[in-house]
Amino acid sequence: MSLRLLLVDDDVLVRSGLRVILESEPDLTVVGDAGTGREALDAAARTDPDVVLMDVRMPDMDGIAATAELVARDPRRPRVLVLTTFEDDDYLFRSLQAGASGFALKRSDPDELVDAIRVVARGTSLVLPDLTRRLIASHAPSRARGAAALPELTGREADVLRLVAGGLSNAEIAGRMHLSRETVKTHVSGVLLKLGARDRTQAVIAAYESGFMTA
Amino acid sequence: MSLRLLLVDDDVLVRSGLRVILESEPDLTVVGDAGTGREALDAAARTDPDVVLMDVRMPDMDGIAATAELVARDPRRPRVLVLTTFEDDDYLFRSLQAGASGFALKRSDPDELVDAIRVVARGTSLVLPDLTRRLIASHAPSRARGAAALPELTGREADVLRLVAGGLSNAEIAGRMHLSRETVKTHVSGVLLKLGARDRTQAVIAAYESGFMTA
DNA sequence: CTCCTCCTCCCCCGCGCGGGGGACCCGGTT
DNA sequence: AACCGGGTCCCCCGCGCGGGGGAGGAGGAG
């Protein structure tokens, strides 16, 4: 029993491209497509798809609104996988809040996309790699509000973090601590790893949010 | 070619239960198990699994730390799927920050779990339904305007500073604000100038110290 | 009308940063 | 004895950042 798909995108080229890719999978069938959110609602009602691949930016009702309407009609019948070219956090959050089951970039590998479709069809929500990381990054700051002590930093790492959070560069920290730049970098790297920070800015944020600075 | 799995949980019963469930899938093979984070690192080095099913709460190095270490060794080789009985947001965030590819509850359906394993093995990150919703819910809007602490800042500059202090890169800010990188850089430069900061790190410090972040 | 601020986007360029290696010493465990 | 974690120092490399410059449009104030 094959999965019934509905493609929604205002760009005809994208629709036909997707169609070719998806139809080459034996267990997937494209049962319809639409170029606007409003058309998507009609098409969904007619074709009763398992999964809707939904673009975000569209004329005449965007993908978010269309998703919200589909979910309102029946929260479990057509699963919605939001598809966009933009690495746009705002869309991500709003899409999922509207009730989308997943979110993927158009630039992802065909394999990855097909994977995502099957997963979503099963009723499992997912967000592809990059986006997930971003989701977490943007949440991170509000995380440790009050509690959640920092992971076990070594003595030197804690010293370095204090100076990093004082706005000093690696060279300045080296001078202040009578160390070489390389050593400071080693410690900074250790701090970043343990705090799950991408750069010193995120480390400083973690330091403040965790109460490390006020303690 | 079958997927090689490593089970990590301090409870032997859980390990054997999982083993039975997973071995019944023809394309899954359990190549080892461990009862602590430290053991997990050893076992991973020996058995070179595709996916590690990792418990969070464990004696002698918890799942988060073990995950971080595995990812540090090789960010793509053993994918880590964090498994827990607790619907604990903090674990969720910290696990994924440590570099886990996914997160699932032990109480999920076997099918769902098996699904998740296959997806993660492909290199796709995922968070199961309930958790995703929670993740979004907790990402409350930092959209709050007004109460402008640093008053010399223009509206745009304040917006940008908020995101900089959220740990985002210029490119990410551009994405979220629907702007070009250049424009973001312009605003960041303005912020740095007005705050007397040398780089974004010092700007974040100023933002925290001035009460800009708590207002 | 002009002037000015704010917002938007573009170029080039130097440099600090962070990741990848590796190396050595020391002290405590095993 | 071998081992390991913490601390120190070194290399190379890619890239994001921040500064320099310029430019156009929208809107308010004079």
pLDDT the model gives residue B85: 61
The terminus-to-terminus CA distance of chain A in angstroms comes to 60
CA-closest candidate to residue B32, choices B15, B10, B17: B15
Average pLDDT over residues A141-152: 41
pLDDT beyond 90 at A204: yes
- In chain B, residues with a C-beta closer than 8 Å to the C-beta of A89 are 172, 175-176
pLDDT beyond 60 at A130: no
Task: Give dist(CA A204, CA B201) in Å, integer.
Answer: 7
Strands B28-34 and B51-55 turn out to be: unpaired
Average pLDDT over residues A4-28: 85
Q: Is the CB of B170 under 7 A from strand D?
A: yes
The reply to whether domains B3-137 and B155-209 share a CATH topology is: no
Question: So what's the architecture of B155-209 in CATH?
Answer: Orthogonal Bundle (1.10)
Q: Which CATH class is domain A144-209?
A: mainly alpha
pLDDT the model gives residue B7: 92
Contact A200, A192 (CB under 8 A): yes
Question: So what's the architecture of B3-137 in CATH?
Answer: 3-Layer(aba) Sandwich (3.40)
Task: Give me the percent of chain A exceeding a pLDDT of 90.
Answer: 16
pLDDT the model gives residue B144: 29
Average pLDDT over residues A171-194: 89
pLDDT the model gives residue B126: 61
Which residues of chain B have a pLDDT value below 70?
Answer: 1, 13, 60-61, 72-76, 85-94, 96-97, 105-109, 123-152, 215
pLDDT per residue over B192-207, tens digit each? 888 888 899 999 998 8
Return the domain boundaries, chain B.
Answer: 3-137, 155-209
- Whether residue A205 and residue B200 make contact (CB cut-off 8 A), yes or no, is no
Q: Which band of pLDDT confidence, cut at 50, 70 and 90, is reported for residue A93?
A: low
- Whether residue B126 and residue A124 make contact (CB cut-off 8 A), yes or no, is yes
Strands B102-105 and B79-84 turn out to be: parallel
Q: Is the CB of B186 under 7 A from strand D?
A: yes
pLDDT the model gives residue B62: 76
- The mean of the pLDDT values for chain A is 77
pLDDT beyond 50 at A142: no
Task: Give dist(CA B209, CA B19) in Å, integer.
Answer: 52
Task: Give dist(CA B148, CA B143) in Å, integer.
Answer: 13
- The residue behind tokens 């899409």 is A95
Q: Which band of pLDDT confidence, cut at 50, 70 and 90, is reported for residue A183?
A: very high
pLDDT the model gives residue B14: 75
A3-138: which CATH number, 3.40.50.150, 3.40.50.2300, 3.40.50.300, 3.90.550.10?
3.40.50.2300
Task: Give me the percent of chain A exceeding a pLDDT of 70.
Answer: 76
**DSSP 3-state assignment of A18?**
helix
